[in-house]
Each structure stands twice: as structure tokens, then as C-alpha cells.
Amino acid sequence: MTETLKTKNVFLTGGAQGLGKSYLDGLLAKGARVVFSDIDPTAGAATEQELAEKYGKDNVRFLQCDVTDGSKFEAAFQTSVDHLGYVDLMVNNAGIMNESVWEKMIQLNYTGVVRGTLLAYEHMRKDKGGRGGRIVNISSELGLREFPTVPVYCGTKHAVRAFTTSLAMAPGVKQLGLEYGVLCPGPADTDLIRKIDETRIRHISLVPPEKVAELISSVERMQTAFMKLVQLDDMNGAILYVPRDQMNFCKMERVNLGENWPVAEEADTTNNRSPQLPAVVVFLDNSNLTDVLDLTNVLDLTDVLDLTIDVLDLTDVLDLTDILDLTDVLDLTNVLDLTDVLDLTDVLDLTNVLDLTDVLDLTNVLDLTDVLDLTDILDLTDVLDLTNVLDLTDVSSHPEGTQNYSVNHRCLEAGRCFVIDISINFL
């Protein structure tokens, strides 16, 4: 159906009114020939006449049928094959939303879809003389999530979605020439939504009229989504999700929540708010994965792992200005060996000098800031004041002769201890 719908034949269930009727209109506008069924003979006949006047009576035919009756459904499908010659596209659209008749709803919404799918499957499969085709099953937005007001309806629509996508994953599906797609429309402006009351749904306080009005999409928008799905180049396995503000392809994923089940919040009936349940839908934009998994409702990562604040704040854990292994950075015996830097026998022959304080101003001979600028390695201004380590005024009147003078000084500052041992030979 990638090239055109003009040569395609369609059988659609539940087409007398609502979204089914709009799907028929979209298909006929593209040149397809259609046969549709509905349980309501009056509405069906009226729709047939309307569409025949618009698109030609040879292109549309109505068959009255209850899809919950297996034999009648099979007969209607065969009639459509006889009329059209072949069915290229099967659309299982018939369904209701009425929790008060839940058994009928299961038969119609799910069993009818399964039966229609299998009828088309046997007709289309290439290994038994068919020429392939497409099967589109109508699920719902509630086939992708849960909602407490319509639990049975949700169950049927989840079943439709899972059933269809499971068939799409079957081995050999391409060899059979079959493709499966699912449409998941949100609430639309049809009787299905307009006629909601306390007999059809539970906990009606959760869906007041003003809230419903905010969620409803136009029938035309749903028709656009349907036509987008059936005209995909490769439709097999596609799920098109169409709430009011989106039209995205998606797929279901299993979410691992760990060993402990996260408690879902209770429904807030005072604010008419439904509970927020774990999301397990992956949305795709034009069949490309954009949002892999929305864990915001499943697991609040800010509570579990906040790398910026709670788990690892590097500014608190590792401040390189505070952490310095002085044994690696400053080994005073390697950095400053005064016996190598200043051999006083080369600078001054002390045998000819009596008063070292007059002859030798060590601040001029040895400017430690030139020999070793310790400020780049370690700021020793608070730790080590060299003026306290070696005060040469104590040796200014050393007696002549070869003598040895040792200074052993301990500096204890801010919890750090340095020992400097300087030996000077006098001649």
C-alpha cells in the first residue's frame, strides 16, 4: 500500500458511525474500494448511501453483522471477498466501552478482533494461495496504559495491542506477505465518549465533563492518524499512539523495577486526578527511537542517585589544594641540600675572616628565593620560616680552625613537622 490505495480492497468492521465511518471516508478518498459491517442496520444503510453518493456506489457496500457471532462474521467476510475479489486490508474496528456489560465487551472488543484477524490471515497468506496484505487492529490509548474507571475496557485494548504485535513478531511473517499494525487513539468526539455516564464507567468523579473536554480530539485528526498508519512503507509491528497533543509511533518495553514494588499513589478524588502508574511505553518519532524510557514515574532518580549533591561532590571530596603528600612533593633532603648549594669553602676562606657578620652577608651570597622558590611547591610561609631554622648570627664569631657546626631545628606548625639538619664546615 506504499504506492497507492486506489487499487486496494478493504473490509472494515464497525463502520456505520464514529471513527469507523471516518476511516472509510479517508480510504475512499484515496481510491480504495470498501465493504464495511456494523451491528446497526439503520445506521449502516445510511452511511452506505452517504458514501455511495460521494464516492460511487460501486466502491462501497454495507453488510449487517454482529462480530461476536462467529458464523455470521465468517459469512460476512466471505461475502466481502466475493464482492471485492480479494481483501488487501482488514480493519478490525468494532468495539464498545461499557463496563456494565463486560462480558459482551470482551467478546466484541477482543474476541471479535481475534476472529477477524484470523479470517484475514487465512485469506491473505501467500503459502496458501493468497497475495499478502495488511491487518490493522484498533486498540486505544488505554491499550498502552491503565485507568481505574474502565478496567475491563483497558484489558480488552491491551489484549488487542499485545495480540497484534505478537503476530507481527512471528517467524516467517514476511514470507507470508503479511503486515500487522495497531492504532491507539485517545478520546475522540464520538458517541463513545459523549455518552459516558455512571452506568458505562466506574468512579465517574475522576472524569468530570470539563476534564473530558480537555482530552477530546477531533474525528478528522484520528482519520489523519489512521491514514498515516495504513500507508506506511513498512507497517509491520507499528503502534501509532494518538492522544490529543501527539501522534507518535511507540512500542512496549518491560521495565525492571528491582526487588521492591514501588507503591503507586492513591487516586485523588478530591482533585479528580487519577493515580500515576509506572510508564512502560517507549515513544518513537518517525520510527526512530527518541525517548527510550520514561522512568520519571517509575523511579525518581533524584531520590536514589544524585551525583551532584548526595553521592559525589568532588569539590568536597577532593580538593587538590588540601591534599598533598609532602613526602612526594617536598623531600627537603633532595630539594635543598645546602652542602651542595653552598660550600662555604668556595665562597669564603674563613681563615682570613674573623667576623662573618661583616664579611659575609648570607642574604647576598645565598638568596634562597633564587635557589629554590618553594612557593610553587608548598607555601612554607606558615610552616617553615627559614630565619628561625638557621640564624647565622650565632656562628659569627666561630674560632679559627677546621670546625664543624650543626644546626638541628624542628618546626612544628599546623600539625605538620619538618626537621632541617644543616652542617657547615669552617676552615
Distance CA 27, CA 36 (A): 12
The x, y and z cell numbers of residue 93, run together, are 474496528
Cβ atoms of residues 395 and 407 within 8 Å: no
Sign of the C-alpha dihedral, residues 253, 255, 261, 265?
negative
Distance CA 343, CA 346 (A): 6
The x, y and z cell numbers of residue 285, run together, are 518519532
Closest CA to 400 of 339, 353, 348, 342: 353
Distance CA 49, CA 62 (A): 9
Check residue 55 and give left, alpha or beta (phi > 0: left; psi -120 to 50: alpha). Answer: alpha
CA atoms within 13 A on the CB side of 318: 2
The beta-carbon contacts of 229-234 under 8 Å, at least 24 apart in sequence, are: 229/136, 229/181, 229/183, 230/1, 230/5, 230/27, 230/89, 230/91, 230/134, 230/136, 230/181, 231/1, 231/2, 231/5, 231/30, 232/2, 232/181, 233/2, 234/179
Amino acid of residue 83: H
Sign of the C-alpha dihedral, residues 28, 32, 37, 41?
positive
Cβ atoms of residues 61 and 52 within 8 Å: no
- Calculate the CA 116 to chain-centre distance: 35
Residues with catalytic function: 153
CA atoms within 13 A on the CB side of 15: 31
Cβ atoms of residues 290 and 282 within 8 Å: no
Q: Could you report how far apart the first and last alpha carbons of the chain are, in Å?
A: 109
